[in-house]
Amino acid sequence: MELTWNSENPARWDAPKQRIIGSAPAGIFDSRFTELTTGAPLSGDWWRIDADGKPVGYAWLDAVWGDAEITVAVDESAREKGIGTYTLDNLERVAREKGLNRLYNTVRPNHPDRAKVSSWFEKRGYSASADGSLMRAVATRG
């Protein structure tokens, strides 16, 4: 399986995002995604992950004051095949290139797989806090 990392600039809501993000069970992503219409502009930086030319995931990064919130979204049919790790590795690379200090992701209390997703981030060096945030330093020390 060949994975590619594709910058979306400008990013817009489309059918593959609706399939992977918009139709996810409640609690996984921000509920505002269910309100978007095709072609709506999206804030932050977005990347599409393709496997053999087919969209299988998305990455989002929104930088504020030297840190960035991230989202990793993988199509349900493509999970547990390394796509999430590929996506997170690329987000961390982009963050270092941008000179960011830390990345964080919040796993919502009503996420149906909260413990599994939190554990996945923790195994990749993210530290959990009581509010569900998981954070990791990415800045290169010089």
Identify the CA nearest to 57 among candidates 112, 111, 1.
1
Does 8 have pLDDT greater than 90? yes
Q: Is the pLDDT of residue 132 over 80?
A: no
State the average pLDDT over residues 83-109: 93
Query: Omega before 10 cis (within 30°)?
Result: yes
Q: Is the pLDDT of residue 107 over 80?
A: yes
CA pair distance 102, 28, nearest whole angstrom? 22
pTM score, two decimals?
Answer: 0.91
